Structure 1
């Protein structure tokens, strides 16, 4: 388990002499009640807000998630980031993971998802990316939406109309993912764009959170905890209390102020939240 960054409030990032974005952020993680090791890792510092959930057993998953967040952290030399730098860091992490996987029978890998702060001229936005079944949500005007789409067997079944979204979390194949960093695969994230508008709240989390808390519970915690650190801690605590079957990690990012442009539109999938 690797934690990079610390809780921060009112961090101002200037895009020009007259344009800026002000952010709060925080992260929290817990090993849960059934695992011996915490194989989640995260970054919570501008311009990277990332969660990686390692796989491989014992300390191997920890090595994989650590490789991803450390390579991303090394690549972020400015307060803005782009997809070229992201993918190069993921390729380097994949090489690191391959070295760690030598001698293992099942291979080593990790999910990774997050939000990177990007700019379009003097307007800020978040590039949301995903590999695996960790997730990014956005809370806007009190409404929670899932931004990312899981790379998983059950998600493919939902999209094909073979499985109702309400039944996905309890399906026997709910832990089977179809894409990861590692296992010899070339990194290929999916991307979405979300304008960094004042009042926006992002949640980046591992599946240890979403397998314990329904969307309605996640929304309630986010709405009732206005401070980023309180929200991240409350979400992790609630997921552990609800069963804690896996490691649990949450990173919360708040946009306090922003000089965004109206012509930057979000690119979001259709609503993926289970109807509960």
Structure 2
């Protein structure tokens, strides 16, 4: 197996407004997950905990990218079944539309091209990559304002203050398992990953996120400072950050010699 040395850290906080922390996260190399539950006492915390539990069953073997993507889809489908059973157990005649969760996943995969990151997302939780070219938002928000930006109807700056900026267009719920987006990223193009809920990036901008990630060499300290910065900016939501560093690659790993300018590949891997 290709030797890849990872270091990671995490932090979460309920914030200054919410009564319940509906965020959940997983740090179980080679799998990392952040989920932002929706529904409050109707089960948002339950939904995020369920998806983290199911993705935590993926194990520690490095799969090839398509097999890994299929395993992520299977875990999301298992979680949907569990959410449906939970909703029925709470007395709902049909699936509860109130309990759901966003999810972002990062896992190491390996094929003939070497070891890479497979990233997946549903909703508006994000994955950022910090590499030689700076900070890059790899995931694409599944949100109303992102669709408006893509259509050219508003600017990215206007999206930050749009009244519907928290309305998402895809999420995992008891009623549905939408198709996540998948991305393949070379390790040397993102030597540091950040997985976070919108309680981070809605409170502090990407410039401050990059500044903190560059200032803090320890991933645990970086995660804690990101959460603290979100709290200092108002803490209007639960805030969760997972930071993962690639600190070592085997000399014979072809991927370690690929140019950092390689394009990120996005596609329906399954």
Q: Could you tell me the TM-score, scaled by structure 2's length?
A: 0.88
Q: Map residues 4-153 of structure 1 onto 2, 5 A cutoff.
A: 15=1, 19-58=2-41, 60-80=43-63, 82-102=68-88, 103=92, 106-121=97-112, 123-141=114-132, 143-153=134-144
Pair 142,219 (structure 1): closer, same or farther in 2 beyond 3 Å: farther
Paired residue secondary structure (1:149): coil
Paired residue secondary structure (2:245): strand
Partner of 1:191 in structure 2?
182
Paired residue secondary structure (1:161): coil
Report the Cα offset of residue 141 of structure 1: 2.0
Q: Tell me if the contact between 1:55 and 1:110 (Cα under 8 Å) persists in the aligned partners.
A: yes
Q: Map residues 120-269 of structure 1 onto 2, 5 A cutoff.
A: 120-121=111-112, 123-141=114-132, 143-197=134-188, 200-258=191-249, 259-261=253-255, 262=257, 265-267=262-264
Q: Tell me if the contact between 1:26 and 1:253 (Cα under 8 Å) persists in the aligned partners.
A: yes
Superposed CA RMSD in Å reads 2.0
Q: Tell me if the contact between 1:209 and 1:248 (Cα under 8 Å) persists in the aligned partners.
A: yes
Pair 166,239 (structure 1): closer, same or farther in 2 beyond 3 Å: same
User: Which structure's residues are more often helix, by fraction?
Assistant: 2
CA distance in 1, matches of 2:56, 2:116: 19
CA distance in 2, matches of 1:202, 1:163: 28
Report the Cα offset of residue 105 of structure 1: 5.8
Mark the runs of 5 or more structure 1 residues left unpaired by the alignment. Answer: 1-14, 270-276
Q: Tell me if the contact between 1:101 and 1:107 (Cα under 8 Å) persists in the aligned partners.
A: no
Report the Cα offset of residue 107 of structure 1: 2.8
Report the Cα offset of residue 169 of structure 1: 2.1
User: Per-residue CA shift, 1:18-44, capped at 9, x if unaligned?
Assistant: x41111111110000000000000011
CA distance in 2, matches of 1:27, 1:155: 27
Report the Cα offset of residue 78 of structure 1: 2.5
Q: Tell me if the contact between 2:42 and 2:98 (Cα under 8 Å) persists in the aligned partners.
A: no
Partner of 1:3 in structure 2?
none
Q: Tell me if the contact between 1:153 and 1:176 (Cα under 8 Å) persists in the aligned partners.
A: yes
Partner of 1:5 in structure 2?
none
Mark the runs of 5 or more structure 2 residues left unpaired by the alignment. Answer: none
Partner of 1:273 in structure 2?
none
